[in-house]
Structure formats: structure tokens, C-alpha cells
Amino acid sequence: MKVHTKETQDKLTPRAALEILKEGNDRFVKNLKAQRDLLRQINETRDGQWPFATILSCIDSRTSAELVFDQGLGDIFSVRIAGNIVNTDIIGSMEFACKVAGSKLVVVLGHTNCGAIKGACDHVEMGNLTELLSKIQPAVYQEKTSAENRTSSNEAFVENVASINVKRSVEQIIERSYILEQMLEKGQIGIVGAMYDIANGKVEFYSDAIFINDDKNPSFSLANFRT
């Protein structure tokens, strides 16, 4: 499988980029990895890179975006941090990836059984981790379905918080980046939220967290942002 070039990247729409990731994950789940000559890809990307997507995921060792979506060298920008949280540096990296390097899609990828989410649910405080987990706390408070046992021992509570955290991260990217918001409005990029199941390898893209402005989404609106 060949690497992306400036020409192939330019031709991609955000919707097409999303479909590439869905197809890659389907191959991953079925253990049908695409054939790639990695040494050739190293040579072909030595003078430049044209990634079609930027994926924010957790540092969890089981959630490598390149593997989960069956992508090769030069295909995606991979941003990893515990709990797939958003901060200024991460948003700046996304602005570079999309505005400068031409990525068509931003994905916030959470995962099941996340240790950072569990830590936030248990209100863990430990060194610099305290500040990181504080960025997940709003998702903990927003979860309203679990009236009792709001700790990491409640699996349903943890997964609900993880889902909310992904969608909040998507919202924060749009709210905090005028550059990405404008690109989204113009249909130049898409921003989506998804959840990776560590038990079966499947990625679920949230229908209520897919922001792509094209003819397949005629009701697209960012009215809820920057109000």
C-alpha cells in the first residue's frame, strides 16, 4: 500500500478520510492487515509527509491508532495523552496538522476500561497527574445516570464518563480553536468522537459527535459553539 502524497491528500474529503479509518478498523478487527513495505514507506516519506487524519488518543499501550486503524507511515498524526484530554499544546498541534500539513479529519478516540478515567472517577491525586485528571472531572460530574457507587468499581459509570469525556474533548477543540472552527465551517476538515473497545478491537464512532459539513449532513450547525 502506497503512502499519501500531496495530490492524494488534497483529493480527500473529511467524509472520505473517515471512511478510510472505518475500513482500516474493519481490517484490524478481522485480522486482515493491509500489505505494506515499511522500508519503502520510509524512503517515500523522507522528503515530506501528507497525513490525512489527526487522532487524539490515550497513552494506553493497547490503543495505538496506527494499529487500530491499520495505517502506515505518513498516514496519520498521532497525538497521545492519558485520558485523551485536550489542552493548549494539543490544540496547537491539531492546528498545525490541519491548517499547515493538510489533515482532513480530527478524531478524539477514547477507549473502554481507561485507567485515567478510573482515576478521575476515584478523585485520585498524585503529583502532576492531579492536574491532568482534573481535566476529566467535568465529565465525572456530568454523568447523571449513576446515583450510587460513583467509583471505578462501577463499570457502567466508568464507561459513561469515558463517553462524555470524548464528546467534551470534541466540543473543547471547536470552542477553543478559531482556526479549526473556521475550517470545519468551510467543510475543509471534520471533527469526530469515537470509542475503542479493548475487548474486541472495534471502534464506535458516535453519531452525535460527528461534525462534518457536507451534503450528507445538511443540518450541520455550530450554533451551540461560541455563543
Domains in the chain (CATH in brackets) are: 6-211 (3.40.1050.10)
| pLDDT, tens digit, 9 for 90 and up, residues 73-85 | 889 999 999 999 9
- Beta strands (DSSP E) in 158-202 are 190-196
The rounded distance, in Å, linking the Cα atoms of 51 and 48 is: 10
pLDDT of the residue at 227: 54
List CB contacts of 104: < 8 A, sequence separation 6 or more: 9, 12, 13, 14, 16, 17, 52, 53, 98, 188, 189, 190
Output the 3-class SS for 191-225: EEEEEECCCCCCEEEEEEEEECCCCCCCCCCCCCC
The rounded distance, in Å, linking the Cα atoms of 171 and 223 is: 12
Question: pLDDT tens digits, the chain, 227 residues: what are they?
Answer: 677 778 888 899 999 999 999 999 999 999 998 888 778 777 777 877 889 999 999 999 999 999 999 998 889 999 999 999 999 999 999 999 999 999 999 999 999 999 999 999 999 999 999 999 999 999 999 999 998 999 999 999 999 999 999 999 999 999 999 999 999 999 999 999 999 999 999 999 999 999 999 999 887 888 776 65
Decide: 25 and 111 in contact? Cβ < 8 Å: no
Ordered DSSP codes for 64-101 = -HHHHTT--TTTEEEEE-GGG---HHHHHHHHIIIIIT
pTM here is 0.93
pLDDT of the residue at 90: 98
